[in-house]
């Protein structure tokens, strides 16, 4: 299975596929200055044993070292519901600031109630920087900006970096369609609007997705263009209207079980990727609220 691919340009984009959760992590660099950002890094977690590891985050660090890059940013596009963020681990290793969209506070407020954390500070302080719609920043000398892209979650943002856009779970590859909208705070109409804003970028803009579920068992892929998405995405082509799209999205979402790690991962990721503090025996514990997601579809295998 191909788990690494380099897309040269301005910026250079190195994509790393993590097969356990079908996630894609990115090192995005300015070839002129050798400065980079890491986007959506994964902290390894085995739900069966409770084990954590840093294999995939260390792979990113190895690439950074081999390419003689300097990490300027550690960026999350949204609070992930299917894997732990390695943002805090990478901050410890590199000293680079962490960032996410300022809309994370809405997700924190929602989930702190589900976890019964009355004292949890739902103000985004767990990150070094909170981006809002239209904010700009640089990676080396490359101009970058932030688009608010809600629908999949309340807090999803897109990073437009040079001629590349990192669209998280809003779009998948054209044969995979678009993101689900049935998580708390999700909304199919808002996702449609976010997608239309992304598809209004120049046709040759490189689009990089946050997951690839390998339809038909093909090799992992995570790069497309605005043009290819507009013309061939299975949920968007053939002159699809908002009403058509919402019907397709809502019908599909009604049949999807929740990600296996949604309840473990959200309590890590609304903390910016920080694991719970050790208790008096030195161990860390996750808190799983029972029956917190009413109406969630069960997996077919229930034994």
Residue 288 lies in a domain: no
- The Cα–Cα gap between 165 and 145 comes to 9
Domain that holds residue 211: 4-269
- The Cα–Cα gap between 30 and 8 comes to 10
Q: Which residues contact 42 (CB under 8 A, 6 or more apart)?
A: 18, 21, 23, 25, 56, 57, 83, 84, 85, 86
Residue 211 lies in a domain: yes
Sheet holding 164-166, edge to edge: 136-139, 142-148, 157-161, 164-166, 206-208, 223-225
Within 10 angstroms of residue 67's Cβ, the number of other Cβ atoms is: 15
Total domain count for the chain? 1
DSSP secondary structure code for residue 128 in this structure:
S
Residue 18 lies in a domain: yes
User: Is residue 303 predicted with pLDDT exceeding 50?
Assistant: no
pLDDT in tens, 120-148: 999 999 999 999 999 999 999 999 999 99
Task: Report the predicted TM-score, pTM, of the whole model to 2 decimal places.
Answer: 0.96
Residue 291 lies in a domain: no
Terminus-to-terminus CA distance in the chain, angstroms? 30
**CATH number of residue 136's parent domain:** 3.60.15.10
Residue 180 lies in a domain: yes
Residue 8 lies in a domain: yes
pLDDT for the residue numbered 301: 53
Return the minimum-mean-pLDDT range out of 78-82, 156-160, 296-300.
Answer: 296-300
- Using a 10 angstrom Cβ sphere, with 0-12 exposed, 13-18 middle and 19 or more buried, the burial of residue 212 is buried
pLDDT in tens, 70-115: 999 999 999 999 999 999 999 999 999 999 999 999 999 999 999 9
Residue 287 lies in a domain: no
Residue 166 lies in a domain: yes
């Amino acid at each position: 299975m191909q788990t690494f691919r380099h897309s040269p340009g301005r910026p250079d984009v190195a994509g790393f596929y993590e097969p356990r959760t079908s996630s894609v992590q990115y090192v995005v660099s300015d070839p002129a200055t050798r400065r980079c950002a890491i986007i959506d890094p994964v902290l390894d977690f085995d739900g069966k044993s409770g084990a954590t590891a840093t294999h995939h985050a260390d792979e990113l660090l190895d690439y950074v070292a081999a390419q003689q890059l300097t990490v300027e940013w550690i960026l999350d596009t949204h609070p992930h519901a299917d894997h732990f963020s390695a943002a805090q681990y990478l901050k410890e290793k590199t000293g680079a600031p962490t960032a996410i969209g300022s809309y994370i506070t809405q997700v924190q407020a929602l989930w702190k109630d589900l976890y019964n954390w009355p004292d949890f500070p739902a103000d985004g302080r767990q990150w070094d920087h909170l981006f809002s719609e239209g904010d700009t920043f640089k990676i080396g000398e490359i101009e970058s900006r932030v688009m608010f892209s809600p629908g999949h979650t309340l807090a999803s943002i897109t990073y437009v970096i040079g001629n590349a856009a990192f669209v998280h779970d809003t779009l998948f590859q054209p044969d995979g369609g678009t993101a689900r909208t049935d998580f708390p705070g999700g909304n199919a109409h808002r996702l449609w609007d976010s997608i239309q804003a992304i598809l209004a970028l120049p046709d040759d803009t490189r689009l990089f997705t946050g997951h690839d579920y390998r339809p038909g068992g093909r090799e992992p892929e995570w790069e497309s263009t605005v043009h290819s998405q507009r013309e061939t995405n299975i949920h968007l082509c053939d002159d699809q209207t908002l009403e058509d799209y919402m019907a397709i999205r809502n019908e599909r979402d009604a049949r999807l079980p929740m990600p296996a790690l949604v309840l473990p991962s959200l309590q890590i990721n609304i903390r910016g990727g920080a694991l719970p503090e050790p208790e008096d025996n030195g161990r860390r514990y996750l808190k799983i609220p029972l029956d917190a997601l009413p109406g969630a579809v069960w997996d077919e295998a229930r034994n």
